C-alpha cells in the first residue's frame, strides 16, 4: 500500500492507533511521516510505544546513522496512559520543536472506520 503524497512541511503528527498493523506497515508509514516533514510525533492507542520507536528509527535511518541536524530531529512521545483529549491538548499547547516552529498538525487515524469529523471536532474543542 502506498502512502499519500503531501508537501514536506515541518509538522506535528498525532497518530491515533485503533487498528492492528504489521511491523512492516508501521515502518513504511513511519518513514513516510519523516519524509513528509514530521518533526514531532505523538502516538496514542494500540501499541503506541512501537510507533514511537518506529518513527525514531525512521529518523535515524534517514541520516544513515550520522548525526541528525537539530532542525531535522523528530521528537517522539507515546501516550498510553492519557486520554485522547489529553493528547490533543498536549499537541496544541506543549508539543513544540526546539529548533523549528510547527504551524501544521496532522491527525493520522489508523482505524477500520472513518472518523475525520469526530477527531477534528475533538481536536478543535480542546
In the chain, where are the structural domains located?
Answer: 11-125
Neighbouring C-beta atoms of residue 73, cutoff 10 Å = 17
Say whether domain 11-125 belongs to CATH 3.40.309.
Answer: yes
Residues of the chain with pLDDT under 50: none
Long-range contacts of 51-60 (CB under 8 A, 24+ apart): 51/15, 51/17, 51/26, 51/76, 51/78, 52/76, 52/77, 52/78, 54/23, 54/26, 54/27, 54/30, 55/30, 57/27, 57/30, 58/27, 58/30, 58/31, 58/33, 58/34, 59/34
Amino acid at each position: 500500500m502506498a502512502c499519500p503524497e503531501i508537501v514536506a512541511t515541518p509538522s506535528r503528527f498525532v497518530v491515533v492507533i485503533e487498528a492492528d498493523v504489521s511491523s512492516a506497515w508501521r515502518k513504511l508509514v513511519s518513514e513516510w511521516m519523516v519524509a513528509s516533514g514530521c518533526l514531532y510525533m505523538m502516538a496514542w492507542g494500540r501499541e503506541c510505544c512501537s510507533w514511537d520507536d518506529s518513527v525514531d528509527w525512521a529518523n535515524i535511518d534517514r541520516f544513515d546513522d550520522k548525526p541528525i541536524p537539530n532542525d531535522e530531529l523528530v521528537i517522539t512521545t507515546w501516550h498510553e496512559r492519557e486520554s485522547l483529549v489529553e493528547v490533543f491538548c498536549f499537541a496544541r499547547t506543549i508539543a513544540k520543536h526546539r529548533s523549528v516552529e510547527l504551524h501544521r498538525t496532522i491527525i493520522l487515524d489508523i482505524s477500520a472506520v472513518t472518523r475525520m469529523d469526530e477527531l477534528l471536532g475533538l481536536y478543535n474543542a480542546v
